[in-house]
A = this chain, B = another copy of it.
Amino acid sequence: MKLIENWFSERYSENLQLSFRVSDQLLSVKTDYQRIDVFDTYDFGKLLAIDGTVQLTEKDEFVYHEMITMFPFYHMDKPPRKALIIGGGDGGVAGQLIKMGLESVINIEIDNQVVEVCKKYFPDLADSFTSPKVDLRIEDGIKFMKSSAEKFDLIIVDSTDPEGPAEGLFGQDFYRDVKNRINPGGIVVAQSGSPFYQPKALKMAYNSARSVFKHSIVYTAFIPTYPSGFWSFTMSSDSEMKPSGEEIKSGKYFNSSVLKGATQLPEFVKVILSE
B21–A42 contact, CB under 8 A?
Answer: no
A264–B264 contact, CB under 8 A?
Answer: yes
A15 at the interface (CB under 8 A from B): yes
Jot down 24 A-B pairs with beta carbons below 8 A, ordered by A: A9-B19, A12-B43, A13-B43, A15-B42, A16-B18, A16-B19, A16-B20, A16-B43, A196-B224, A221-B266, A222-B229, A224-B228, A224-B229, A229-B229, A229-B230, A230-B230, A251-B267, A255-B266, A257-B264, A257-B265, A257-B270, A258-B266, A258-B267, A261-B262
Cα–Cα, bound, A222→B21 (Å): 24
B264–A258 contact, CB under 8 A?
Answer: yes
A33 at the interface (CB under 8 A from B): no
Cα–Cα, bound, A264→B220 (Å): 12
**A18 cross-chain contacts in B, Cβ below 8 A:** 16-19
Cα–Cα, bound, A16→B253 (Å): 22
**A229 cross-chain contacts in B, Cβ below 8 A:** 222, 224, 228-230
User: How far apart are A257's CB and chain B's nearest CB, in angstroms?
Assistant: 4
**A224 cross-chain contacts in B, Cβ below 8 A:** 196-197, 228-230
A1-27 CB mask vs B (1 if < 8 Å, else 0) is 000000001001111111111000000
Q: How often does this chain occur in the complex, in copies?
A: 2
Considering only CB atoms, which chain B residue lies closest to A194 in the complex?
A: B224
Given pairs A222-B228, A264-B264, 6 additional interface contacts (CB within 8 A): A12-B43, A16-B18, A16-B19, A197-B224, A222-B229, A254-B266
Considering only CB atoms, which chain B residue lies closest to A22 in the complex?
A: B15
**A222 cross-chain contacts in B, Cβ below 8 A:** 196, 220, 222, 228-230, 266
A263 at the interface (CB under 8 A from B): yes
A260 at the interface (CB under 8 A from B): yes
Considering only CB atoms, which chain B residue lies closest to A18 in the complex?
A: B18
A253 interface neighbour in B14, B17, B43, B268, Cβ under 8 Å: B268
Q: Which of A237-275 contact B (CB under 8 A)?
A: 250-255, 257-258, 260-268, 270
A109-131 CB mask vs B (1 if < 8 Å, else 0) is 00000000000000000000000
Q: Which 6 A-B pairs have the closest CB atoms?
A: A229-B229, A261-B264, A15-B42, A15-B21, A257-B264, A261-B261
**A266 cross-chain contacts in B, Cβ below 8 A:** 63, 221-222, 253-255, 257-258
